[in-house]
Structure 1
């Protein structure tokens, strides 16, 4: 396992659509392991493969104690409901945050590292993280969706801060 370099905006790789994963092999497993290490090292809640320069439909999230680390390969949102509005940041856009409207509850289906189907339901921060990371796989950044963008301020614990 290794810490990978996080690609920073305005690198063009962040604006490209990631490709579907078709090979569930040791290379994918290493990518997932490295992404988790990189996310934790950067104190992130999620990390998508394009953020480490890999245009594959893969992301990792660890947004709550109930679920812990989740690895999602070829994710798709199945359903969304409700609405939440609040601050988001991004490891690829250090120093900025923005207020983004997201669904309050999301059901997402994907594959695990072995290609087996998985499905998760997320609310609050986990729902926000699913949507944020899936956007990365489509070349969309939170600054594209934010109603306002501002310099980073310390988040309250319920918003994902310390």
Structure 2
């Protein structure tokens, strides 16, 4: 079992810069992944990128259901996101939230199918295809590794509203 690490919050520079590719598949990576799962579960999330615990590496973990309710759990190192072609794309208009912007949710249309190709913790190739929440998770976590939060995809006015609500709730909890 890994160590629970604090979740980085919106505004921390590590969340707003692209992460570095993983080049060593070793015990340190395995320990990081264990810590990521422990941190994700402690925060009651369904996905977590390494930069959300302050580590600027291209790796994320997930444990979430697809559109049929079937749970999928795993890790993807150095992911490359693949979305349906524009003519084949159907958007899921659902709400999205983030452990780095706790307590805030906003509607964010995303393709209802997605895939990532990358590697597992041992360096073996993996492909994860998802629908429903899993598709959203794959897109959301890959965005993190590219230095983007879901709020960066919102219209400017809605983004400001989400950030203001976060700041207000964050200040109230201090």
Scaled to the shorter chain, the TM-score interval is: 0.7 to 0.9
Unaligned runs of 5+ in 2: 167-174
* Count of residue correspondences: 152
What is the RMSD computed on CA atoms of the aligned residues? 1.5
Partner of residue 28, structure 1 = 29
Partner of residue 169, structure 2 = none
Contact between 1:62 and 1:68, CA under 8 Å: does it hold in 2?
yes
Residue 67 of structure 1: how far off its partner (Å): 4.5
Counterpart pick for 1:105 among 113, 124, 137: 113
1:64-95 Cα shifts (integer Å, max 9, x gaps): 26343210000111333321111111101112
Residue 127 of structure 1: how far off its partner (Å): 0.2
SS at match of 2:99: coil
Structure showing greater radius of gyration is 2
With over 3 angstroms needed to count, the CA separation of the structure-2 counterparts of 1:122 and 1:83, relative to structure 1, is: same
Specify which structure has the higher proportion of helix: 2
Residue 50 of structure 1: how far off its partner (Å): 0.5
For 1:83 and 1:91, locate their aligned partners in 2 and report how far apart those are by CA, in whole Å.
23
SS at match of 1:69: strand
Partner of residue 144, structure 2 = 136
Counterpart pick for 1:74 among 71, 78, 86: 78
Residue 2 of structure 1: how far off its partner (Å): 0.5
Partner of residue 87, structure 1 = 95
TM-score of the two chains, using structure 2 as the length reference: 0.82
Residue 12 of structure 1: how far off its partner (Å): 1.1
Residue 102 of structure 1: how far off its partner (Å): 0.7
TM-score of the two chains, using structure 1 as the length reference: 0.88
